[in-house]
Chains A and B, each alone.
Chain A
Amino acid sequence: MRELSLHILDIAENGITAGADCIHILVEEARTTDRLIIKITDNGQGMPTEKIKKLTAPFVSSLTTRRVGLGLALLAAAAERCDGRLTVKTGTGTGTEVGATFRYNHIDRAPMGDMASTITTLIIGNPQIDFVYTHIIDGEEFTLDTRELKAEMGNLSLTKPVVIYHLTASIRNSLGKLIAKNGQ
């Protein structure tokens, strides 16, 4: 995939398919130590551990072995190409945590992409699901928690166009500040 945000969208959708009602998305850009970490955690039904090994092998696919498509295989390839790796922690009934690491400055590391649109796309498409998005750049942190937003907004729906518009702008603005704060 051309951008990491598309991988994030894809893995988050796996969590939704697995029946999660809350998905945590963490992006950590540690430029000083040359690491980029992505972690997507869902509280869905999880997978039996014997399936994990098969998940990143692209050609073992069949509907019985693969519920989640090619997304994990592609993310694993993207991470390994950049001196990183993919980790999957899961078990039946325990949800799933997908982690991917990259060398931040590796020439083949795909750009982050548009995280603001990615998060709001998830929110619009899945109003019944909560998302907790944390983005850390060199130790400075930004968090968006739809549970808090919903509590603040009362009966105003998060998926209304005007709300989404402001949400997208607010995420962009916050990320811009994080980047500016740390130079570069």
Chain B
Amino acid sequence: MTVNDLVERFGLQVVAGNQGLDRQVEDGYCGDLLSEIMGNAPEGCAWLTIQGHQNIVAVAVLRNMAAIIVAGGQTLDDETQQKANQEGIPILLWPDSSYQLAGRLFSIGIGNARVQ
């Protein structure tokens, strides 16, 4: 499943990093404490967070993520958008909570290979 598939399926708003929309989404991760994300987020994941400052792009690049999804109706700082465009990391907006979207992602098979 690509980032663009998620955009279409859940009506996410693409606000940066259009050039990365064909990235494969292998897994999912939630969290807002950047040091923790940096240590634990899986490669190729879609990361759900409420943070909007530019460090999120640095963390996403470091973990080779598929996309950042900014949840909770939060918005991005201007610099975040610029950095994400430079790095080709898609940033998508979701108006409801991380929990609500994480449940939907899981139910379509993202990140549930490890459960059985």
How many Å lie between the Cα of A107 and that of B37 in the bound state? 11
Instruction: Tell me the complex Cα distance, A108–B39, Å.
Output: 13
Residues of A within 8 A of B77 (CB): 111
Checking B35, B50, B52, B74 against A108 with a beta-carbon cut-off of 8 angstroms, the contacting residue is B35
Count, chain A residues at interface, CB 8 A: 6
Q: Is the CB of A107 within 8 A of B51?
A: no
Q: Are A111 and B53 in contact (CB under 8 A)?
A: yes
Q: How large is the interface on B (under 10, 10 to 19, 20 to 34, 35 or more residues)?
A: 10 to 19
For A2, the closest partner residue in chain B by CB is: B50
| Secondary structure type dominating chain B contacts | loop
Q: Does B110 make an interface contact (CB < 8 A)?
A: no
Contact A2 B35 (CB under 8 A): no
Q: Decide: A108 and B34 in contact? CB cutoff 8 A.
A: yes
Does residue B115 face the partner (Cβ distance < 8 Å to A)? Answer: no
**Among residues 68 to 113 in chain B, which have CB atoms less than 8 Å away from a CB atom of chain A?**
74, 77
Q: Are B74 and A107 in contact (CB under 8 A)?
A: no
Q: Interface on A for B, CB 8 Å cutoff?
A: 2, 81, 107-108, 110-111
Question: Can you list 16 A-B pairs, Cβ within 8 angstroms, ordered by A?
Answer: A2-B50, A2-B51, A2-B52, A2-B74, A81-B33, A107-B34, A107-B35, A107-B38, A107-B55, A107-B59, A108-B33, A108-B34, A108-B35, A110-B53, A111-B53, A111-B77
